[in-house]
Chain A
Amino acid sequence: MTVHNLYIFDRNGTCLHYGEWNRKKQAGISKDEEFKLMYGMSFSIRSFVSKMSPLDMKDGFMTFQTSRYKLHYYETPTGLKIIMNTDLGVPNSRDILHQIYSTLYVEYIVKNPLCALGDTLQSELFNSRLDSFVRALPFFSARAA
């Protein structure tokens, strides 16, 4: 069980952070294009899900999965989107993404006067804390199953 990678986007679609732990295959397009694709797709899926829902929506788009990996999506009220790709054994990790937002992003980026909101995240402290947080997750192991 493992985490493959993690994207953080802001409200305007700028990719603020990308972290990779266990990715075997690259997308074959440049990183910029990959970020645009990821953002655009999650935006579309989110609005699709809310439009087509046959019942009142509670949480909206949360995850999708294929036969090899699972994509988890979390959006904050302020428009920040956190997207994490893991393998299939991982249960719904909405809380984990929420924790990343509240204990890492808010503490180390929002409260850091030298990180302007909307810039890519430069703080080494944030990077190292995020890395150790992901590695400490119960379903993370350095080798993919």
Chain B
Amino acid sequence: MADDSLFEFLHMEIVSHVYKEHESRGDNDKERGTCVSLLELMGFRVGQGLIERFTKDTPSFKDELDVMKFVCKDFWTNIFRKQIDNLRTNHQGTYVLQDNRFTLLTPLSSGKQYLEEAPKYLAFSCGLLRGALSNLGLESVVTAEVSLMPACKFQVVVQKI
């Protein structure tokens, strides 16, 4: 990634554009849900492409945990210039990835200000995770939560087919 700012500014604009589009069409409560899923779908496609690129030289993964570790270390470092700080799992398909200083949230606040707006800026990254995992063979559902900025937790539940 050449310059982080390019992605950060573009991401800011994408989020505000998606929300403005929906406002001008006049939806009320539905708009929040659809905006978030739109952003997530965008992230999904981007994640799929990115993971192909990042894994083209790595050997195949031994198991699910290996995949998650790769995502936490190399994938996250390539995109956000830092690793996931904490990975927890119940060894039954649920993983919690904790990032204590999520790059897209650091300029917003360090505490409680702007907390309600934070999910908008996490949707794209949830999709990113889901797309990356999907292309590595793991269908999953990814959600994110923030209680204290800029730390956030991504919860990944792998779907067993």
Contact = CB atoms under 8 A, between A and B. Distances in A.
Interface of A: 107-109, 111-114, 123-125, 128
Contacts of B12: 111, 113
A128 B111 CA distance: 11
Contacts of B113: 123-125
Contacts of A128: 110
A114 B111 contact: no
A103 to B, nearest CB: 12
A112 B121 CA distance: 11
Contact of A124 (B5, B107, B111, B121): B111
A112 B107 CA distance: 5
Interface string B1-28: 0000100110010011000000000000
Interface of B: 5, 8-9, 12, 15-16, 107-111, 113-114, 117, 121
Nearest to B112: A124
A93 to B, nearest CB: 25
Nearest to B12: A113
B86 to A, nearest CB: 23
B56 to A, nearest CB: 32
A111 B9 contact: yes
A123 B110 CA distance: 10
Contacts of B109: 123-125
22 contacts: A107-B107, A108-B107, A109-B107, A111-B5, A111-B8, A111-B9, A111-B12, A111-B107, A112-B107, A113-B12, A113-B15, A113-B16, A113-B121, A114-B108, A114-B117, A123-B109, A123-B113, A123-B114, A124-B113, A125-B109, A125-B111, A128-B110
A2 B89 CA distance: 53
Nearest to B121: A113
Contacts of B16: 113
A123 B111 CA distance: 11
Nearest to A116: B16
Contacts of B5: 111
